[in-house]
Amino acid sequence: MSQEITMYAADWCGDCRRSKRLLESLGVKYNLIDVEADEKAAEKVIEINGGMRSIPVILFPDGTHMTEPSDIDLSAKLKALSII
């Protein structure tokens, strides 16, 4: 299984910055996709969230995702997947 994590985010988003800080502090590599620069990415976020534009959306190697996760929930998911 790939360990690839993808985060849909935007520069102005405080929750996005918080999740980025957490991933970086844990040494977790991730792909960052800017929903402001990529209209297809913005559409993907709306699709994943059932019509909502909520970000960050973080996609995990097991095919699951989290939207606007707390640091505690995001850390727990990374541990569950043996990424950290």
The DSSP string of 28-75 is: ---EEEETTT-HHHHHHHHHHTTT---S-EEE-TTS-EEES--HHHHH
Look up the CATH number of the domain holding residue 52: 3.40.30.10
pLDDT tens per residue across span 60-78:
999 999 999 999 999 999 9
Number of neighbours of residue 45 by Cβ within 10 angstroms: 23
Would you say residue 1 lies in a domain?
Answer: no
**How many separate domains does the chain show?**
1
Q: What value, to the nearest 5°, has the Cα angle with vertex 5 and ends 7 and 15? A: 30
What phi, psi does 44 have (nearest 5°)?
-65, -40
Q: pTM value?
A: 0.94
Range of the structural domain that residue 32 is part of: 6-80
Kindly state the tokens that stand for 38. 């990529």
pLDDT tens per residue across span 36-49:
999 999 999 999 99
